[in-house]
């Protein structure tokens, strides 16, 4: 059996970092971890190829080689997924699909022979058994939550690691919180399930043995969903990193209650975590209560960010406008808030009703649901009828984006961040880092209109907090990407 695994291309979004990749000579930000894990679960005797269309073109020859094509995708990739399905069916191939977009939108896709939905550790073996016996079903679905301690190693040999800016591993699935707009618990449940420490270390060792050095994204939607498990695991990770002279710098996603736990922050910093994404959402308490964001209620969010950054981790933040409790003052409020707290990478989106979430069901019952979401996070897509005037909401959203990603405000946030930041990451400066720095000096410091802001940042950081200079350079480079995304959302 020849099996082709295909990962659809991402559009140009906040998280694609397409305009950063040229600085570091990479083709994509992250590898297709889900498909690589699926590949490891397929029979060893099958011949496998993987085409990540973010890295290389999917050719007719690739498709002709295959007996069966597996496609995995998220919501934001659905348009490209449909194109790939159509091409494969035109060549008479069997198409097998799975992943978030298919789990919540399976009825929206034509031409698929087999849907492997929910968590593949449960549903894929059922499909493989039926396939072997000659009677595979069209759809496999299950609400069973598998033991992640039995997850297979990703088949890293199917990709060229050099194509990517960062590698990815998963430690746990699930989140204990129940935010109305979030689909994490739809996919992975509210009881966090974690891998054993030695299992995570085996995955990191596989990357290390493959020659990877640099950033590793721990893709958990809430890395600290079970703090006790994480605290038991981190000493093992710290020791592993120490023994290998800290080959990986780590980043992840967490909830704001990370700032309440000094021991956990100390351990994460010691393990070489240098960045964490927080769902901050809004400074409006009523909107937080409305959406069930209990972990952010009655909390000084500015102090939360400052505490985490003082523990050596840059905070990236998610922000939302369009809650029922938001009025027209929310746009200026969000701008002032984001500038004050110094979250440089601020992903601001209009509230979106993701399929099957509590928000989706509520809006559907209220007759306010309009359409499917694009899944783009920051494209200004509005798929429901808001309480605020629709035009005012979109106009205000665009104002936030154009304001916070203006050059002046963006660099102001970098300075605020550097002021609060206490670098602790142990990193080996690579030739890639040096090349990126020199490229930034030329492309930003000479050729771009940001040259004055760039050199002021570099010189001030170099003179006052030299250890933060790599972070300053990286954020200046990120600014080139964010500025282009902002101009797409809110053209000037």
pLDDT digits (tens, 9 = 90+) for 343-357: 999 999 999 999 999
> Closest by alpha carbon to 38, among 48, 28, 29?
48
Predicted pLDDT of residue 260: 98
Nearest to 103 by CA among 81, 125, 83, 84: 81
8 A C-beta contact, residue 216 and residue 389: no
**Segment 214-220 mean pLDDT:** 97
Question: Is the domain defined by 2-140 classed in CATH 1.10.3720.10?
Answer: no
Residue 241 scores a pLDDT above 80: yes
Task: Spell out the alpha helix ranges (H) of 291-430.
Answer: 301-310, 330-341, 358-365, 390-404, 407-420
Q: Please report which confidence band the pLDDT of residue 270 belongs to, taking 50, 70 and 90 as the band edges.
A: very high
pLDDT of residue 381: 83
How far is C-alpha 2 from the geometric centre of its chain's CA atoms?
A: 31
pLDDT computed for residue 151 by the predictor:
96
Q: For 379-437, what is each residue's pLDDT tens digit?
A: 778 999 999 999 999 999 999 999 999 999 999 999 999 999 999 888 778 888 999 99
In the predicted model, what is the mean pLDDT of residues 232-248?
A: 97
Q: Where are the alpha helices (DSSP H) in 297-389?
A: 301-310, 330-341, 358-365
In this prediction, residue 429 carries a pLDDT of 80
Average pLDDT over residues 240-264: 98
Residue 74 in this model has a pLDDT that exceeds 90: yes
β strands within 19-127, DSSP E:
47-52, 68-72, 94-98, 114-116
CA 420, distance to chain mean position in Å, is: 25
Average pLDDT value for the chain: 96
85 and 97 in contact (C-beta within 8 Å)? yes
Quote the pLDDT of residue 426.
85
pLDDT tens digits, one per residue of 287-313: 999 999 999 999 999 999 999 999 999
User: 429 burial class (0-12, 13-18, 19+ CB within 10 angstroms)?
Assistant: exposed
CA 404 to CA 340: how far, in whole Å?
Answer: 11
91 class by beta-carbon count within 10 Å (0-12 exposed, 13-18 middle, 19+ buried): exposed
Q: How confident is the model at residue 106 (pLDDT cuts 50, 70, 90)?
A: confident
| Max Cα–Cα distance, the chain, nearest Å | 69
Query: What angle, rounded to 10 degrees, do the helices at 390-404 and 407-420 form?
Result: 60
Report the candidate in 352, 384, 7 with the shortest Cα–Cα distance to residue 183.
352
In the block, tokens 């979109």 appear at 394
CB atoms within 10 A of CB 186: 17
Tens digit of each residue's pLDDT (9 = 90 or more) over 150-185: 999 999 999 999 999 999 999 999 999 999 999 999
Task: Output the pLDDT for position 375.
Answer: 78
CATH number listed for the domain at residues 166-419: 3.20.20.70
Helices 407-420 + 301-310 axis angle, to 10: 60
For residue 301, which phi and psi values (nearest 5 degrees)?
-65, -35
The DSSP output letter for 153 is: P
> Which pLDDT belongs to residue 110?
96
pLDDT over 90 (residue 492)? no
HSE-CB of 6 using CA atoms within 13 angstroms: 29
| Residue extent(s) of CATH 3.20.20.70 domains in the chain | 166-419
Residue 259 has pLDDT above 90, yes or no: yes
Phi, psi of 248 (to 5 degrees): -120, 135
Residues of the chain with CATH 3.40.50.280: 2-140
pLDDT tens digit string along 317-340? 999 999 999 999 999 999 999 999
The span from the CA of 302 to the CA of 203, in Å, is 35
> Whose CA is closest to 315, among 273, 270, 267?
273
Q: How many CB atoms lie within 10 A of CB 325?
A: 16
Residue 376 has pLDDT above 90, yes or no: no
The pLDDT tens digits of the residues spanning 7-51 come to 999 999 998 999 999 999 999 999 999 999 999 999 999 999 999
């Amino acid at each position: 059996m020849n099996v082709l695994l295909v990962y659809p291309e991402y559009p140009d979004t906040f998280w694609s970092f397409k305009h950063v990749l040229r600085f570091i000579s990479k083709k994509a930000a992250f590898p297709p971890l889900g498909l690589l894990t699926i590949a490891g679960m397929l029979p060893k005797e099958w011949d496998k190829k993987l085409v990540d269309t973010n890295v290389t073109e999917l050719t007719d020859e690739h498709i002709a080689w295959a007996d069966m094509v597996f496609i995995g995708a998220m919501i934001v990739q659905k348009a490209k997924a449909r194109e790939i399905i159509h091409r494969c069916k035109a060549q008479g191939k069997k198409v097998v699909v799975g992943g978030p977009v298919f789990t919540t939108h399976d009825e929206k896709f034509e031409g698929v022979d087999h849907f492997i939905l929910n968590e593949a550790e449960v549903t894929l073996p059922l499909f493989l058994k039926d396939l072997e016996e000659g009677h595979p079903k069209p759809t496999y679905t299950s609400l069973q939550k598998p033991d992640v301690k039995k997850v297979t190693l990703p088949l890293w040999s199917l990709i060229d690691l050099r194509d990517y800016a960062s590698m990815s591993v998963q430690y746990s699935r699930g989140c204990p919180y129940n935010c109305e707009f979030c689909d994490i618990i739809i996919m992975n449940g509210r009881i966090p399930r974690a891998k054993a420490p030695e299992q995570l270390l085996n995955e990191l060792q596989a990357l290390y043995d493959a020659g990877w050095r640099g950033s590793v994204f721990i893709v958990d939607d809430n890395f600290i969903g079970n703090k006790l498990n994480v605290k038991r695991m981190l000493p093992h990770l710290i020791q592993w990193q120490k023994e290998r002279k800290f080959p990986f710098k780590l980043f992840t996603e967490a909830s704001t209650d990370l700032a309440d736990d000094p021991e956990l922050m100390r351990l994460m910093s010691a393990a070489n975590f240098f960045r964490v994404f927080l769902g901050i959402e809004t400074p409006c308490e009523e909107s937080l209560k409305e959406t069930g964001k209990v972990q952010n209620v009655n909390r000084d969010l500015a102090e939360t960010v400052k505490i985490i950054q003082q523990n050596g981790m840059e905070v990236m933040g998610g922000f939302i406008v369009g809650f029922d409790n938001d009025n027209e003052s929310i746009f200026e409020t969000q701008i002032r808030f984001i500038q004050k707290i110094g979250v440089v990478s601020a992903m601001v989106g209009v509230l979106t009703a993701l399929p099957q979430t509590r928000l989706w069901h509520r809006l559907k019952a209220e007759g306010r649901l309009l359409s499917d979401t694009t899944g783009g996070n920051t494209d200004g897509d509005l798929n429901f009828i808001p309480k605020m005037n629709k035009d005012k909401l979109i106009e205000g959203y665009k104002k936030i984006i154009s304001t916070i990603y203006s050059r002046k405000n963006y660099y102001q946030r970098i300075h605020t961040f550097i002021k609060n930041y206490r670098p602790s990451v142990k990193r080996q400066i690579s030739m890639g880092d040096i090349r990126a720095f020199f490229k930034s000096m030329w492309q930003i410091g000479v050729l771009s209109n940001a040259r004055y802001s760039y050199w002021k940042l570099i010189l001030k950081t170099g003179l006052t907090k030299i250890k933060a200079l790599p972070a300053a350079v990286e954020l200046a480079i990120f600014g080139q990407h964010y500025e282009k995304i902002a101009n797409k959302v809110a053209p000037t």
